[in-house]
Amino acid sequence: MLPVKRFESTNHHPVRLQDVATAAGISLATASLAINGKGRVSPSTRRKVLQIAKRMGFEANPSARSLAAGHRGKQISIFTRDLDLGVATRKLQILQGMFFEKGYSASIHSCGYFHGQAQGEYAGLLRELRRQRPLAIICHNAHHFDQGMLDELQTYAQSGGYLVTFDLPSVLGCDQVIFDRTDSADQAVMHLLELGHREIGFAMPGIHEDTIRINGFRDALKRYGLSPREELLFDCEAGMPPEIVGMKFAQQFLKSQHCPSAICIPDDTVAASFIATLYHHGVHVPQDLSVVSHDDLPLAAHNFVPLTTVAQPLKDIAQKTVELLLSRVDGSYDGAPRTVRLCGKLIPRESTSSVRK
């Protein structure tokens, strides 16, 4: 498709329907009928208006009718790059429920679970959300957003929309709720160190690219005069289902010539699959190996070996996100962007024990 030359407004405000009507030399009412495809408007007039609207970059607002009737916008769009079958989706559900309780309509938007889509698809979805002009866009894990996605969100915020991100830190200049994963990794490894373990492994997809959790791992070891050992770091391809990831980590562990006495796996489902695979090969947790996971999904407490885990404060994350947004909507806060940082909590269970000689 040929690129469309857009009208650049000198005041940086979105092009209004009135601007289109003025450029076409017709009334606002006629322009509205032409854009909506309703009423008695000649084909030539409709064609002229649509061409002018396209050239000027006018974007119709699906909510305009209800707003014109005096209804307050209550639509909130929650966006995430990827849905999973674990803690990320639980956060979205809790957040959605809290907005419903406050009287808002909150919809969840995603490109799906598996990775591999072109980045333009993500930016395209955000563009469609922006054009719908919801009251607010809430973004999950904006830390991973590419420049095209960031540009769409900045355009939305500049047009007056409310923008909040949660979970991982973002470069966007907006209110943020951050879950401190560095601290969670630190807590997990400190628990193992306090049990007497010194040969401690760490397993997660993309471990060498993750500077958040691995820093917590290093910080904890440093307090005991230790450093991470490359042979105790377990890595695999990102984007696979967590059950497969756990199995692959277990296979790596079984083949390793330098097995740790304890390991940190920052995902409950991965850890459960890891433990199950080891069990079928005669390696038992915690008798032969202590395991600490993260998130505290229901699976953690009900696994056949209940998991020691660092719980994410899911309700607190959602609650703070709601509070930050609504304080701007009701006008009680109109200042600089705020950042709320929340930490997890270690929950000891049966997957860890003192080091055995």
**pLDDT tens-digit readout, 195-230:** 999 999 999 999 988 889 999 999 999 999 999 999
In the chain, count of helices (H) and strands (E)?
13, 12
Those residues with Cβ within 8 angstroms of residue 308's Cβ, 6 or more apart along the chain or in another chain: 191, 290, 291, 292, 293, 346, 347, 348, 349, 350, 351, 352
> For 17-60, CATH number?
1.10.260.40
Q: With a cut of 90, say whether residue 4 has pLDDT above it.
A: no
Average pLDDT over residues 83-94: 89
What is the spatial distance between Cα 352 and Cα 300, in angstroms, rounded to a whole number?
13
Domains 17-60 and 181-311 share a fold: no
Q: With a cut of 60, say whether residue 6 has pLDDT above it.
A: no
Q: Which residue has the tokens 């419903």?
A: 100
| pLDDT band, very low/low/confident/very high, at 120 (cuts 50, 70, 90) | low
Tell me the CATH number of domain 181-311, given options 3.40.50.2300, 3.20.20.100, 3.40.50.300, 3.10.20.310. Answer: 3.40.50.2300
Phi, psi of 335 (to 5 degrees): -105, -155
Q: With a cut of 70, say whether residue 11 has pLDDT above it.
A: no
| pLDDT band, very low/low/confident/very high, at 249 (cuts 50, 70, 90) | very high
Into which CATH architecture does domain 72-173 fall? 3-Layer(aba) Sandwich (3.40)
Q: With a cut of 50, say whether residue 268 has pLDDT above it.
A: yes
Whether pTM > 0.85 for this model: the answer is no
The domains of the chain are located at: 17-60, 72-173, 181-311
Q: With a cut of 60, say whether residue 253 has pLDDT above it.
A: yes
